[in-house]
């Protein structure tokens, strides 16, 4: 074997080991976390960074909103605490939405790694904690100060000793102190697991530092991304989208330009930020924009600073996609997770053979609160049962894909998992009565959109509880592409009263009422009359499409 071939093999082995290190870091976080968002749904991220803050590798387990925004977050940590000021045993923490991953519920932790007394790397990880104080989950806050405890970048552990004052402040400001503290300790543990495995790797490969290896990985990733761009034409394409907003619809628009420098995404012309918690910090906009681009261009290229450097994102200061402090941002995902669909609409004009149709996209999480005073005017009630706050991670359908139907009840683009109903019922006095595919909800087309789902649940003791709705695609469903039909809009109501619920905001579920949630469907791709008859019959046989739904005209079926 030549020296060059041996070097290439050694590099590939080291890279594979790095991926194993960060994946073990993520799995350690899942195994030790207290909160269900991390332990059950995988709402987290983990990665390794060079001492100058460039992201080298990330775990496959995790969400794009956390991983890609964390890439920028580590640079903020280094500005607050330069690498030279970090000591062995130090651990740093923040939930600053503008320097972390977009809202106060996400705790970002950074740990420096030392080998033979030298600083060789940084490990970073993120979890979504179950509570952060304030109004709690939901979009109702008017500014960030209403949304909970705000932690600037600070030392959480100094030379191996926890900053007890910091921990005391956190415990005093959250409703679930044991769970939140447990998640913080899980972050500490997972970064330490990563550090141990990294030191073993470096000793085995006789690496004094990660500089040479890291530069090689980042340069190769950047070159691979440039090669992937060669399969796409140069030009500029535009797309617009209307989203539900909080009280009224909001306009989003994008221009996507591909040239020799890479991809530029410009959101100029989008709506201004609003006095509700649906605003999106730029870091989160960057994260889901980059993810949308990477799903189409170079998806096999490692996601690190090298490959991400080909993507430039612009959003006017003060628009809803670049909200400034003290804007409320708790539900930034409701709009931020629609950005891949918006980018797809522009890139479909360049390569219609590569791009899927729109999907439900934003999560339809069911957030319930009970066991405390509920303000509801004439419906005001003091609950008698245990105090609780739970989130059921719920999803709609994805858009139809080129040459394939969409995926039903699938969390795209977030990638989180649904939480077991048995787990939720063990944590709170709720009873799920129904959870099944929503027939006829996928948009018609040559390739059908993925289905949403129907979920019915109630308070197990027939007491009132609060719903904190954070849903989109109620008034503006996923749009069909290339002649395909729209997906069904989402909706929610109470049984037996039949009262309709809003897509966003805190709302009372009176005692004795059943909450019925129908999540949106994904849109179809291509004309419905071109669908393979065998696939149409298979849908009917499986109950994914009803006979009545199949017989209705396309325009009616879109609103099913």
- Is the Cβ–Cβ distance between 101 and 66 less than 8 Å? yes
Locate 245 and state its tokens.
């907003």
Lowest pLDDT segment from 109-118, 237-246, 247-256, 417-426? 417-426
- Cβ-contact 139, 277 below 8 angstroms: yes
Sign of CA dihedral 178, 181, 185, 190: positive
Beta bridge partners of 507: 467
Taking residues 200-204, what's their average pLDDT? 95
The radius of gyration computed from the CA coordinates of the chain, to the nearest angstrom, equals: 24
**What average pLDDT does this structure show over 93-110?**
97
Q: How far is CA 442 from CA 255, 401, 408, 437, 479, in A?
A: 28, 12, 8, 10, 11
Handedness of CA 320, 322, 324, 326 (dihedral sign): positive
Report pLDDT for 71.
86
**Which pLDDT belongs to residue 550?**
72
Mean pLDDT of 46-60: 96
Helix, strand, or coil (residue 94): strand
Q: Between 1 and 286, whose confidence is greater?
A: 286
Query: 162 - beta bridge partners?
Result: 157
Q: How far apart are CA 161 and CA 202, in angstroms?
A: 27
Say which DSSP state 419 is in.
P
Q: Could you tell me the two tokens for 293? A: 């681009």
b/e burial code for range 350-384 (CB count within 10 A of at least 16 → b): beeebbbbbbbbbbbbbbbbbbeebeeeeeeeebe
Calculate mean pLDDT across residues 366-380.
65
Confidence of residue 385 (pLDDT cuts 50, 70, 90): low
pLDDT reading at 169 higher than 90:
yes
pLDDT digits (tens, 9 = 90+) for 323-372: 999 999 999 999 999 999 999 999 999 999 999 999 999 999 999 999 86
Contact 390, 428 (CB under 8 A): yes
Residues 6+ apart with CB under 8 A from 448: 400, 405, 406, 442, 524, 531, 535, 539, 544, 545
- Whole-angstrom CA distances from 445 to 313, 448, 483, 527 are 33, 5, 7, 5
CA dist., res. 494 & res. 87, Å (int): 56
Q: Which of 428, 514, 506, 444 is nearest to 471 (CA)?
A: 506
What confidence category does residue 8 fall into, taking pLDDT thresholds of 50, 70 and 90? confident
Residue 549 in this model has a pLDDT that exceeds 80: no
Task: Find out whether the peptide bond into 413 is cis, omega within 30 degrees of 0.
Answer: yes
Query: How confident is residue 48, by pLDDT bands cut at 50, 70 and 90?
Result: very high
Q: Look at residue 379 and tell me whether its pLDDT is greater than 90.
A: no
Tell me the pLDDT tens digit for each residue of 441-471. 999 999 999 999 999 999 999 999 999 999 9
Element (H, E) at 534: helix 533-542
pLDDT of res. 3? 67
pLDDT surpassing 80 at residue 374: no
Between the CA of residue 46 and those of 80, 209, 283, what are the distances in Å?
A: 21, 20, 17
Number of Cβ atoms within 10 Å of the Cβ of 2: 7
Q: Is the pLDDT of residue 383 over 50?
A: no
Query: Residues 130-142: what's their mean pLDDT?
Result: 94
Average of pLDDT values for 248-269? Answer: 97
Please tell me the least confidently modeled range out of 60-64, 219-223, 311-315. 60-64
Q: Is the pLDDT of residue 318 over 60?
A: yes
293 vs 424: CA distance, rounded Å:
35
In this prediction, residues 81-92 reach a mean pLDDT of 97
For all residues of the chain together, what is the average pLDDT?
93
- Split at pLDDT 50, 70, 90, the class of 380 is very low
Residues 392, 450: contact at Cβ < 8 Å?
Answer: no
pLDDT greater at residue 61 or residue 167: 167
Residue 89's nearest CA partner among 183, 8, 163 is 163
Q: Position of tokens 């071109």?
A: 530
Q: Give me the residue label for tokens 């129904």.
A: 434
Question: What is the rounded average pLDDT of the residues 271-292?
Answer: 97
Q: How far apart are the first and last CA of the chain?
A: 63
- Measure the CA–CA gap between 190 and 195, rounded to whole angstroms: 9
Sign of torsion, CA 462 464 466 469?
A: positive
> What integer pLDDT is reported at residue 66 of this predicted model?
87
What tens digit of pLDDT does each residue of 472-523 get? Answer: 999 999 999 999 999 999 999 999 999 999 999 999 999 999 999 999 999 9
Work out the burial of residue 248: count CB atoms within 10 Å of its CB; fewer than 13 is exposed, 13-18 middle, 19 or more buried: exposed
DSSP string, 427-478: HSSEEEEEEEE-TT-SPPSSBPPPP-EEEEEEETTS--EEEEEE--SSSSPP
Instruction: Compute the average pLDDT of residues 179-201.
Output: 97
Cα 394 to chain center, whole Å? 13
Residue 259 has a CB neighbour count (10 Å cut-off) of: 11
Q: Which residues contact 306 (CB under 8 A, 6 or more apart)?
A: 217, 218, 219, 220, 221, 222, 225
Mean pLDDT of 115-124: 97
Model confidence band, residue 2 (pLDDT cutoffs 50, 70, 90): low
Of residues 32 and 554, the one with the higher pLDDT is 32
Res. 103: pLDDT tops 50: yes
How far apart are the C-alpha atoms of 515 and 521, rounded to whole Å? Answer: 19
**Phi, psi of 309, deg, nearest 5:** -65, -15
How large is the average pLDDT for residues 118-140?
95
Determine the Cα–Cα distance for residues 551 and 560; give it in Å rounded to an integer: 12
The pLDDT of residue 381 is above 50: no
The pLDDT value given to residue 116: 94
Backbone torsion region of residue 281, taken as left when φ is above 0, otherwise alpha when ψ lies between -120 and 50, otherwise beta:
beta
Look at residue 249 in the predicted model and tell me its pLDDT.
98
Residue 338's region, left for phi above 0, alpha for psi from -120 to 50, else beta, is alpha
């Amino acid at each position: 074997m030549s020296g060059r071939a041996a070097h290439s093999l050694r590099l590939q082995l080291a890279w594979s080991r790095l991926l194993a290190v960060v994946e073990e870091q993520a799995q350690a976080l899942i195994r030790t976390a207290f909160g269900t968002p991390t332990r059950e749904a995988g709402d987290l991220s983990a990665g390794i960074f060079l001492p100058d803050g460039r992201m080298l590798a990330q775990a496959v387990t995790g969400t794009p909103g956390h991983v890609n925004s964390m890439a920028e977050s580590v640079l903020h940590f280094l500005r607050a605490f330069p690498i030279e000021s970090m000591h062995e045993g130090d651990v740093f923490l923040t939930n600053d939405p503008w320097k972390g991953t977009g809202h106060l519920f996400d705790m970002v932790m950074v740990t420096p790694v030392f080998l033979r007394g030298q600083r060789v790397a940084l490990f970073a990880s993120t979890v979504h904690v179950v509570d952060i104080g304030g109004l709690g989950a939901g979009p109702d806050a008017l500014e960030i100060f209403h949304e909970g405890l705000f932690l600037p970048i600070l030392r959480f552990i100094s030379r191996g000793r926890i900053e007890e004052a910091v921990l005391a402040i956190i415990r005093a400001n959250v409703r679930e102190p044991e769970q939140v503290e447990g998640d913080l300790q899980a972050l500490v543990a997972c970064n330490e697991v990563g550090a141990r495995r990294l030191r073993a790797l470096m000793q085995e490969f006789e690496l004094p530092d990660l500089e040479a290896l890291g530069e090689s990985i980042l340069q190769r990733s950047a070159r691979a991304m440039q090669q992937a761009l060669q399969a796409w034409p140069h030009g500029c394409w535009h797309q617009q989208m209307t989203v539900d907003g909080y009280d009224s619809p909001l306009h989003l628009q994008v221009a996507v330009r591909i040239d020799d420098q890479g991809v530029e995404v410009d959101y100029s012309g989008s709506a201004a930020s609003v006095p509700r918690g649906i605003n999106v910090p730029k870091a989160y906009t960057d994260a889901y924009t980059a993810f949308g681009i990477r799903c189409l261009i170079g998806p096999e290229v490692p996601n690190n600073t090298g490959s991400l450097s080909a993507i430039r994102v612009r959003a006017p200061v003060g628009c809803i996609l670049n909200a400034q402090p003290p804007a409320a941002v708790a539900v930034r995902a409701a709009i931020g997770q629609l950005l891949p669909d918006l980018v797809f609409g522009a890139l479909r004009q360049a390569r219609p053979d590569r791009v899927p149709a729109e999907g439900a996209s934003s999560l339809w999480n069911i957030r319930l609160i009970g066991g405390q005073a509920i303000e509801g005017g004439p419906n005001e009630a003091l609950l008698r049962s245990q105090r609780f706050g739970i989130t059921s991670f719920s999803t709609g359908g994805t858009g139809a894909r080129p040459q394939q139907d969409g995926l039903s009840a699938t969390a795209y683009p977030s990638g989180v998992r649904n939480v077991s109903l048995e787990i939720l019922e063990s944590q709170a006095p709720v009873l799920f009565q129904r959870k099944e595919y929503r027939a006829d909800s996928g948009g018609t087309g040559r390739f059908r959109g993925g289905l949403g789902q129907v979920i019915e649940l109630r308070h197990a003791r027939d007491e009132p509880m609060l719903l904190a709705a954070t849903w989109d695609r109620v008034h503006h469903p996923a749009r069909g592409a290339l002649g395909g039909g729209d997906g069904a809009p989402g909706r929610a109501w109470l049984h037996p009263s039949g009262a309709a619920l809003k897509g966003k905001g805190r709302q009372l579920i009176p005692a004795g009422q059943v909450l019925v949630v129908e999540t949106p469907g994904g849109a179809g791709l291509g004309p419905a009359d071109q669908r393979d008859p065998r696939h149409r019959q298979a849908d009917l046989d499986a109950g994914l499409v009803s006979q009545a739904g199949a017989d209705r005209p396309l325009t009616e079926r879109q609103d099913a």
